[in-house]
Structure 1
């Protein structure tokens, strides 16, 4: 189905990191329903199969970004708790690695079914703690659960090989083995999908885990861990340590020789520091870091389809996504038409608490994030850009920002070089294909790019010349559990999802066997 048709279908959703093309009618969620759900969320640390308080007895508050009110207080892990979690993971590693691939796959399949059964609970919980509209949160549940199903099938496909050596004197046996205890650090913007994208391949490969969820949105991980227990995951395989002091809690784990793998999703700045720390023990690392995605529109593009794609690529998660389109590089001959149609769509996006029926754009995660977005917008306006629509925070409670389009942005403006992480679309124009390539590649990041053109040869050329790990060709969405997700340059290392995802948690062992025909 073409993007434009998707955009006009009120019942259609694309489950890509919680993308919702259009918001279906939803009823207002009652306060009683919210309270009932929150009461079902574990508030302790999960260590060796038991929910327990932090050793210090400390807790921290989790807030609703649409109101600023406290949702729950949960246990605040410290260094002692982190080491207890690693102790449990290390103790469980040998026995867990011996569990058959089929059984590991069956646990993941049961988890997929349980998450799907509780889709409304997970969606509402994400909306409460992260702010995204409920319909979009439902999309994330579909997307996140798919990693459980995908890796339940991949668990039995970690193939090795057996062959005769070229000279015929020996036999070569190659097998895949679990890396071992893994530290998984997830971000706040996709509370379910980022947990399942890391936990599922680790489970499939036979690795035990310590999961450090984001302190801004830890509740979904808490509920997900409870579901993994219900699915039959043995004690010690998955340990969860929410904390308000990430570095102090996880730092000792990274320095411990028993830890063999670090998977992190977050900012490039933090990723660089973690890579330095991980080098001490030569840890296997997967780093999914920042992005600065170009969205290129050529003169021959279907403008309506490009606008539909832009809406998906920009407003995914209120723009709080590493895959969100950050720079709109539009051919000068169609820039006015694109901006006008894009602005008409953006102006129709209602900002409201994610549980409200009219909500199409939720709040940003906190005041600091909203202020950073406005700082970038203000700088662009001061540098000569004009706001076609939006351009300011929304008055009232919560951390809302108006969906914004900036036109006349010039090269060198901060908003083109820094990750916006908000519902703001700056437009810069180009004349030639070479100029578009130069502008698109003019960034330290290389996670994803989007290109709209009717010329297939040009699309192939763009794929070959763009410095990016992923490309959406005439599509505003690329993520899929069956596809390798990841970037190049300072957007990270490794891949999550696809055939490649499980390889991040396996190492290759070669066994040389003597010639069976000798002597």
Structure 2
């Protein structure tokens, strides 16, 4: 179902989209499949609702968000089951993601009351100078399938807190989770038109969002290629944009690091969500003196992971999202092996009775080198290549990717080294001995072609505000 102007509706054409379970390759259910026509209806509804929503106090907007957060808590298990069915991550991971999603709603429910202006020191005694911060306007949000609820609230919660009205296009692979979120919006009784959900054709929906003059802001999480296209299409009207795009995160392990801690860090940054995250470790640089020992430790730990349908108990790694993703992972592994990579564990599709989905074994490859695709392209799968290095200067020269600059990780016990490396890493997020640096109150975003703008904390709220300067002669 689509959600437009406070009402659930089918698509105007009657078209539907089949939602597939990647663990079983079976159909879950069909949902309405809209296009430019339904998107325009949603934009019109958001445009009509904006003046009234904008005028509500921050406290009032925050109270609506508090209701949404309470409903998400109440429905956590139900939503987790839906999420796992349509994108594959194990239930415990789905529950953790819902907790993260709620954190963003909670945070911005409070931040809605803290949108402050400023009084400037005047240069003339007969003037009073002020800066007001006001909502940018109708916002179009496009979210990915890999975090189908956290990415929604990380965009919609600050937009709503700021006073914007919103149209959301979720990924076609995971519309059911988005529907569950909008059920919470509906139950929280947000005014009609404040939030709108359009599922369907990416080209038609995005085309209407970028070309419609009533849309003042585009926010997107996804591939760099698509992000560039959205920026290009939005440029004709100079829409405000924020983009969280591709990544190719390095993970550095110096010889003085706690190796067991570093191994567990990689388990979290590489194999959670089957490696399908934008801040997932893609390249593991290990000091040459400990590279062999570290590779063995990591392979032993990875070999303990349980692979299967995320709806079952005890599963650590679910399926890749579809066959295309599976083929890309297989291509990267075979390419790495053809360039003298040494397979330490994994390295093939899962052949297991009862598993019909797109499963690939968690894989560790030693002796990785710059000739491999896996060191330059985003794999988006459960493959960990290890690259040995000798000096700090050498590894810094290698880890800073020309194109990507989203997240990076470094493990060392040397505080001075940690401070030096922190400054040298050209990434928007740096985790020092910390595999999970992302929190609701901190800025999330990348440098270079990994994005524009930030999400999270006060920084994410600012993305939905405009500064208005007022000068009063008195």
**Residues 100-115 of structure 1 aligned to structure 2 (within 5 Å):** 100-115=57-72
Give the drift of 1:252: 2.1
Give the drift of 1:240: 0.2
What count of residue pairs does the alignment treat as equivalent? Answer: 471
Q: Which of 38, 46, 54 in structure 2 is aligned with 1:97? A: 54
Q: TM-score, normalised by structure 1?
A: 0.90
Question: Is 1:397 aligned to 2:356, yes or no?
Answer: yes
**Does the CA-based 8 Å contact 1:364-1:400 persist in structure 2?**
yes
**Does the CA-based 8 Å contact 1:292-1:443 persist in structure 2?**
no
Q: Which of 384, 388, 401 in structure 2 is aligned with 1:442? A: 401
State the match for 2:435 in structure 1. 476
Question: Is 1:323 aligned to 2:279, yes or no?
Answer: yes
State the match for 1:452 in structure 2. 411
State the match for 2:470 in structure 1. 511
Give the drift of 1:316: 2.2
Structure 1 distance, partners of 2:362, 2:423, is 33
Give the drift of 1:296: 0.4
State the match for 2:323 in structure 1. 367
Unmatched segments (≥5 aa) in structure 2: none
Question: Is 1:494 aligned to 2:456, yes or no?
Answer: no
Structure 2 distance, partners of 1:442, 1:265, is 20
State the match for 1:157 in structure 2. 114
Deviations 1:61-104 (A, max 9, x none): 00100001111100001111111111111111111101111010
State the match for 1:292 in structure 2. 248
Deviations 1:430-461 (A, max 9, x none): 11111110111134100000000011111111
Q: Which of 407, 412, 415 in structure 1 is aligned with 2:374? A: 415
Question: Is 1:260 aligned to 2:219, yes or no?
Answer: no
Structure 2 distance, partners of 1:381, 1:262, is 41
**Does the CA-based 8 Å contact 1:417-1:443 persist in structure 2?**
no
Deviations 1:95-136 (A, max 9, x none): 110111101001111111110111101111111111000011
Q: Which moved more, 1:487-496 or 1:440-449?
A: 440-449
Unmatched segments (≥5 aa) in structure 1: 1-43
**Residues 374-393 of structure 1 aligned to structure 2 (within 5 Å):** 374-393=330-349
State the match for 1:229 in structure 2. 186
Q: Which of 221, 240, 243 in structure 1 is aligned with 2:197? A: 240
Structure 2 distance, partners of 1:190, 1:442, is 24
Q: Which of 295, 303, 310 in structure 1 is aligned with 2:266? A: 310
Give the drift of 1:213: 0.5
SS at match of 2:271: helix
Give the drift of 1:250: 2.2
Q: Which of 443, 451, 462 in structure 1 is aligned with 2:421? A: 462
State the match for 1:199 in structure 2. 156
State the match for 1:71 in structure 2. 28
Deviations 1:246-273 (A, max 9, x none): 1122202211111100000000010111
**Residues 133-172 of structure 1 aligned to structure 2 (within 5 Å):** 133-172=90-129
Structure 2 distance, partners of 1:443, 1:512, is 44
SS at match of 1:140: helix
Deviations 1:139-179 (A, max 9, x none): 10111111000000100101001233134331111111000
Aligned pair in 2 of structure 1 residues 305, 58: CA closer, same or farther (>3 Å)?
Answer: same
State the match for 1:117 in structure 2. 74
